[in-house]
Each structure stands twice: as C-alpha cells, then as structure tokens.
Amino acid sequence: MYRRNKTICFLLFILFLNYVSSNNFLSFLQASDSLKDAFSKYFKIGTSVSPNELTYGTDFIKKHFNSITPENELKPDSILNQQASQQNGNNVNPQVSFRQGTQSTLRFCEQNKIPLRGHTFVWHAQTPDWLFRENFQSNGNYVSKDIMNKRLENFIKNTFELIAKDYPQLTVYAYDVCNEVFVGGGGGLRPAGESKWMQIYGDDSYIINAFTYARKYAPSGCKLYINDFNEYMSAKTQNIYDMAMKLKQLNVIDGIGMQSHLGVSFPSAQSYAQAVEKFVSTGLEVQITELDINWENNEAAQASLYKEVFNTAVKHANKIPALTLWGTHDSVSWIKDKKPLPFGDNYELKKAYYAIMQVAGA
C-alpha cells in the first residue's frame, strides 16, 4: 500500500510540474489586480490627479498608476504670477511660482518616484489675459509678436528651471507643449476670436516657436507632445497629422497626444483605431492622454469600448509609451455625471475595469 501511494504521489508531482510549466499557470501566477502591473510590458498607465485626492487616495493611486498628469496645477493660470511679473518681468519675462496644490502634486510624484506628464504651456483656455498685454497689466494694450516670443520663451524656460530647482529628483518624461490649437471638429487653427495666441500671431508660428523653445529647455528624456481632442474626427485628424509632420521636419516634436474623451455611441472603435494608425504612421510616439468614456446609461457598452481602445493601444504598444485615464474614479471626474471611468464612486471596480484587465490577460 505504501509503495503504491508513493508511486501515485510521484505521478501527481510530475503532472503538477507539467502544469506549472504551462503558459496558463504562469499567466495565473503573474496576474495582477493593478492596472500598471498588468500592462507593464506594454506601456505606462497614467491618471490625472487633483491635490485634494492626495489626502485620501494615495494608496489607490500608487497601486494602479505609474504616470501622473496634474489636472490643473501646471496650466498657465495656475503657475503664472502677475504681481511678480509686473515687478520683475521687464515686460518680457513672465514669472512662474508654484502654489500649494502644485507643490503637493509634484512632491508626491517625486517622493513616490512616479514619472510626470506636464500639461500644458500653450492653450487658449486657462491662460490669463494679462500674459498678452503690455507690462502684464490687466487693461494694457496687446503686445507685438516679438515681445510675445520673448515671453513665451521665458515662460517655458522659467517653468522647467523651477521644476528642476524645487524637485531635482522628479522625472518629467513628457510635456504637452501645445493643447487644443485647432477648432473643435477640425478645419484649421482656432481663430483670433477664440485664441489670444492667434490674435497676437495670426498663424501657426506660435506653435512652432513654443516647440522650439521647449526643445531648448526641456530636461533630458522629456518628450514633447501636441495634444488635442476630437482627434478621431477626420478633419481634426488631418490637422493634427499635418502640424505634427511640420514640427517633425524641424526636429522639435516627439509625439501626438490623443485626449480620447469618448462616448459609447461615438466614435466607433473602428474610427478611433484608424486615427491611432494615422498618427502612428508619422513615426512619432503617440500617447492616449485623457481617456474617459461617457457610459450613456450602458455600462456593458462602456466596458466593450474600453476593451477595444486598450486592444488598439496594445496592438501599437511599440509606439505608445503611455495611456492615461482622465481621473481615478467617477466621483472626481470632470464629467462625473457621465460615469466615465473604469472605477466608480469610492473606487469600486466596474465592468470596464474587468474588460480592460482581460486585454492584459490578468
């Protein structure tokens, strides 16, 4: 009896070893409930954060994400200092300072060794009007192109220098140099009535200059991006493609940012994939920078589209270094009533989360 049991145990052990060596079992061992770990062989998984969330959501953020985009804390109106600019700017040198929210966000990234996506320098919105006026006065005349060029260069220079000075161990691996420079559905640059940049310049030279200055002052390893929404609409896709190729010829751009604010009824997964492929064809990097999907009261459809987007990203992972969700969970989303994220209120796991993890085999 003892010898027979010993033989059976030996055979079971051999079967177990065979099972251990199978891919299925290894996949099981490697499976993770962390988004960043599940996709680690493909790309970074990022999120936007606001400073308030750093008081209660840090464990969740550290578990799931290895890239952070400050939601508002590096936008021009958050870091440009009007009083200091008037006192010390000599009409050409806008002064930059970091408020408490920006400081806490950058400090969190530095202390936890989470790479940062900067967002953004040139934008028609959330940019103070005084930046474009004589002596940085709220009611001054608008300045010339030459003055604005000096201001733009110094704004970019001062921002990068302040980050390096105050957060020397922080990795800034990407920056949205220009954001939403084209009209909503495509068809050209935003007109002067919508953009003070166009009011001053009248053409795309402000975009070229911004990237030229960013290339000059960006820290080593920081990739420079043009970022926009509705990027899957054919006219907008072409606008972004043409501008990116123009900047590529000047060697001042590294990538295209696809904001990817989607809905379950528009765009289709196919048209979104076509836009990705168009941008990948430039030879530049592509990042999905602000992904969220309006659920339109259909959680299953939302999960399905999330899965398709992640499938497309994985297919082109050799050119996509990061995919960023625009928010950590529904209750902090900028469109929280549309329940757009894979995590619901209080970080609950939604169908979209499980669909995404299926893509990673987790």
The verdict on whether 134 is a catalytic residue reads no
- Asked whether 326 and 48 are in contact (CB, 8 A), the reply is yes
Secondary structure string (H, E, C) spanning the chain: CHHHHHHHHHHHHHHHHHHHCCHHHHHHHHCCCCHHHHCCCCCEEEEEECHHHHHCCHHHHHHHCCEEEECCCCCHHHHEEHHHHHHHCCCCCCEECCCHHHHHHHHHHHHCCCCEEEEEEEECCCCCHHHHEHHHCCCCCECCHHHHHHHHHHHHHHHHHHHHHHCCCCCEEEEEEEECCECCCCCCECCCCCCHHHHHHCCCHHHHHHHHHHHHHCCCCCEEEEEECCCCCHHHHHHHHHHHHHHHHCCCCCEEEECCEEECCECCHHHHHHHHHHHHCCCCEEEEEEEEEECCCCHHHHHHHHHHHHHHHHHCCCCCCEEEECCCCHHHCCCHHHCCCCECHHHCECHHHHHHHHHHCC
In whole angstroms, give the CA distance from residue 303 to residue 300. Answer: 5
For residues 118 and 216, what is the distance between their CA atoms, to the nearest angstrom? 16
Active-site annotation holder among 180, 231, 285, 308: 180
Contact yes or no for 290/260 (Cβ under 8 A):
yes
Catalytic site residue from 53, 231, 290, 308? 290
8 Å CB contact between 72 and 50: yes
Q: Tell me the CB-side half-sphere exposure of residue 150, using CA atoms within 13 A.
A: 11
290 is catalytic: yes
CA separation for the pair 143, 149 (Å, rounded): 10
Query: Whose structure tokens read 């800034």?
Result: 172
User: Would you name the residues annotated as active-site residues?
Assistant: 180, 290
